Amino acid sequence: MARDSCATRVAVGAAMGGAVGGAVGAVYGTYEAVRYKIPGAMKIRHIGQTTLGSAALFGLFLAAGSLIHCGKSY
């Protein structure tokens, strides 16, 4: 069984974190935009900023976690 390289594991962790974080950020951004009655185009901008921020943060944390676990074999 071939083992993945450390860089591949970190990249996959970042991609998975970005996907999950983006989905959660989109839902939360939409909720906030409706709750605080943000008008028109500002609503789209708010949802986009929340989505990208959440995706970047969660992707960073999952990539860091993958990097920490890279050298461990179970």
Count of C-beta atoms within a 10 Å radius of residue 14: 21
How high is the pLDDT of residue 73?
A: 65
> pTM (2 decimals)?
0.86
Buried b or exposed e, range 35-57, using 16+ CB within 10 angstroms: eeebeeeebeebbeebbbebbbe
Residue ranges of the chain with per-residue pLDDT less than 70: 1-3, 73-74
Q: Measure the CA–CA gap between 45 and 5, rounded to whole angstroms.
A: 38
Distances (CA, A) of 28 to 3, 43, 48, 65: 37, 12, 11, 24
